[in-house]
Amino acid sequence: MPMKQNRILIVDDDPAILRLLSLCVNRRGWEVYAAKNGPEALRIFERDRFNLLLSDVHLGAEMDGIEVAKMLLNIEPRLTVVMMSGMPSTADRVKAAGVGSFLAKPLSLGKVAGLLESHRAHHFHDARQRILIVEDDGVQLGEYSRGLQERGYRIAQAQSAEEAIDLVARGQFDAILSDNVLPGMTGLRAIPELRRRSQAPILLMTNYPSPDLERDALLLGAAAVLKKPLDLERLDLELSRSRVSWIN
């Protein structure tokens, strides 16, 4: 079974922590599956594959997180594993088991963001990510497309929000870069429609940034709002990190 890009399995027996982590990670463009114990995690993994496991070590009497990680790594050796615990001494157990890295609880959203950014930065270009650029200005569309292609990305283009929505409904993208001012539907109004069809991070571009626009875009599900004209080096960084402004 092939491994899916940007899919994470989160395992924690605390419902509040599980819900918070799932929300945080999902808002960063990851497809999230959640399990409250080891057996449930194994059942989920039987049906699908993930490229990142984030699991608490202490999951109850049936099996702990280290046991779960070992079993999943036997099935999928490419899986990246990060173990969590509120007991610092558990880090030695994780290290001795050789199953992955360790994060101490309580987790800050910044720690989780850093984990995801590090994973994306390490794996992003190897996977040749596919980016959808939505821009009605032909000159800027060509400039952004060429610049990102030179950096190893695969590019698809749309010149309206309606065209972008149609493309997203028919194909998979790893990120969506959209201007706000478009003929017909604006990029801002298109965000909910795009989010219904894709979990890819959405980066909204604008010549006229404002606190209100940024707030509305992030509430609708955008990952970031970028000021035009774009610097391609910064754009490359934003795409690889898929940074969510509301966490910072």
What is the residue extent of each domain of the chain? 7-123, 129-247
Q: Decide: 65 and 57 in contact? Cβ < 8 Å.
A: yes
Using an 8 Å Cβ cutoff, are 8 and 54 in contact?
yes
Specify burial of residue 117 (Cβ count, 10 A radius: 0-12, 13-18, 19+): middle
The model's confidence at residue 134, banded by pLDDT at 50, 70 and 90, is very high
Q: Which amino acid is at 160?
A: S
Quick one: tokens of 189? 């109004």
Residue 223, pLDDT above cutoff 70: yes
Q: What are the contacts of 166-172 at 24+ separation with CB within 8 A?
A: 167/132, 168/132, 168/194, 168/197, 168/198, 168/200, 169/197, 172/130, 172/198, 172/200
pLDDT in tens, 60-100: 878 899 999 989 887 877 788 889 998 888 888 888 887 77
pLDDT digits (tens, 9 = 90+) for 97-131: 877 788 888 887 777 777 777 666 555 444 457 89
Residue with tokens 């036997």: 74
At 196 the pLDDT is 92
Residue whose C-alpha is closest to residue 5's, from 173, 192, 224, 238: 173
Q: What gap in Å lies between CA 53 and CA 127, rounded to an integer?
A: 18
Question: In this predicted model, what pLDDT tens digit does every residue of 146-174 receive, in sequence order?
Answer: 888 877 788 899 999 999 999 999 888 88
- Cα distance between residue 175 and residue 222, in whole Å: 11
Rounded percentage of the chain residues whose pLDDT exceeds 70: 89
Q: Can you say how many angstroms the Cα of residue 68 is from the centroid of all Cα atoms in its chain?
A: 23
Name the CATH code of domain 129-247 (choices 3.90.1150.10, 3.40.50.300, 3.40.190.170, 3.40.50.2300): 3.40.50.2300
- In this chain, the answer to whether the domains covering 7-123 and 129-247 adopt an identical fold is yes
The alpha helices in the chain, defined as continuous H runs, are: 15-26, 38-47, 65-75, 90-97, 109-123, 138-150, 161-170, 187-197, 211-220, 232-241
Q: Which fold has domain 7-123?
A: Rossmann fold (3.40.50)
